C-alpha cells in the first residue's frame, strides 16, 4: 500500500507511529511530499486503521496509463508472457533451431545473450552485435519478438534496432546513466 502526505501534515507522525507499533516494514520517499510505501500484506482491519489515522486523504491509487503498451507489449500486471531462449547466442543454426522450437510451443519472445556479463575478462563474453542481428533474423522468420540484455551505454546502437525488449541485468540495477538512457528509449 502507498500513502502520500503533504509536508508538515500532522497525521503523518501518527501514521508512522502506527506502522512502528504494528511492526510493519515500510520506506519513506521524501520529495515535495512524503510518500510511504508499506511492504507485505495489509489486512482490512489494519487498512481501516491506517485510513483513519492518515485522515484517508493520504491514500494513493496507482493507475496504469494506456501508453504503457509498446508495439503490442504491455506493462500491465495482468499480462502474461513466455520468454525463453539460450543463455548465450553462439551461432545462426543454434538460434534458428531454438526459435523454431519456441514458436511451435507458443512462446512469444526469444531471449538470448549477445553481450555476456562475466567475472573474468578471459571468459566468453558473447558475440555482440552479430548475435543480436542473428536473433532478430530468426525471430522474424518464426514470428517472435527479441529480448536481450544491454550491459553498457556503448552497446545501445548495437541493441536498439534489433531488440523488442531491453533487459537490464542485476549487475546494472544501480547503473543510473544506463538506466536513464534506456528509460528514454521507446522500448520496454
3-class DSSP state of 9 = coil
- CATH class belonging to 66-184: alpha beta
pLDDT tens for 94-128 read: 999 999 999 998 899 999 999 887 777 787 778 89
Intervals of CATH 3.20.20.70 along the chain: 66-184
- What is the pLDDT, as a whole number, of residue 109? 94
Q: Are 178 and 167 in contact (CB under 8 A)?
A: no
- DSSP string of 24-76? --EEEEESSEEEEEE-S---HHHHHHHHHHHTSTTB------GGGEETTEE--
- What is the pLDDT, as a whole number, of residue 99? 96
Intervals of CATH 3.30.70 along the chain: 2-54
Q: Are 126 and 115 in contact (CB under 8 A)?
A: yes
List phi, psi (to 5°) of 42: -115, 115
- What is the pLDDT, as a whole number, of residue 61? 52
pLDDT < 50 stretches in the chain: 63-64, 66
- What is the pLDDT, as a whole number, of residue 103? 92
CATH of 2-54, one of 3.30.70, 3.50.30, 3.90.550, 3.40.1350: 3.30.70
Residue with cell 539460450: 86
- What is the pLDDT, as a whole number, of residue 78? 54
Q: Are 149 and 182 in contact (CB under 8 A)?
A: no
Cell of 80: 502474461
- What is the pLDDT, as a whole number, of residue 31? 75
Amino acid at each position: 500500500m502507498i500513502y502520500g502526505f503533504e509536508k508538515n501534515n500532522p497525521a503523518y507522525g501518527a501514521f508512522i507511529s502506527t506502522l512502528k507499533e504494528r511492526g510493519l516494514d515500510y520506506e519513506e520517499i521524501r520529495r515535495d511530499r512524503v510518500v510511504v510505501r508499506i511492504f507485505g500484506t495489509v489486512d482490512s482491519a489494519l487498512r481501516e486503521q491506517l485510513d483513519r489515522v492518515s485522515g484517508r486523504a493520504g491514500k494513493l491509487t496507482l493507475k496504469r496509463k494506456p501508453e504503457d503498451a509498446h508495439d503490442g507489449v504491455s506493462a500491465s500486471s495482468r499480462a502474461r508472457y513466455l520468454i525463453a531462449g539460450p543463455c548465450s547466442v553462439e551461432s545462426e543454426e543454434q538460434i534458428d533451431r531454438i526459435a523454431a522450437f519456441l514458436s511451435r510451443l507458443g512462446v512469444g519472445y526469444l531471449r538470448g545473450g549477445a553481450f555476456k556479463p562475466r567475472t573474468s575478462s578471459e571468459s566468453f563474453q558473447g558475440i555482440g552485435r552479430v548475435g543480436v542481428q542473428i536473433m532478430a533474423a530468426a525471430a522474424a522468420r518464426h514470428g517472435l519478438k527479441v529480448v536481450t540484455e544491454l550491459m553498457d551505454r556503448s552497446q545501445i546502437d548495437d541493441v536498439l534496432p534489433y531488440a523488442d525488449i531491453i533487459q537490464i541485468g542485476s549487475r546494472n540495477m544501480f547503473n543510473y546513466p544506463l538506466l536513464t538512457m534506456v528509460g528514454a528509449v521507446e522500448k520496454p
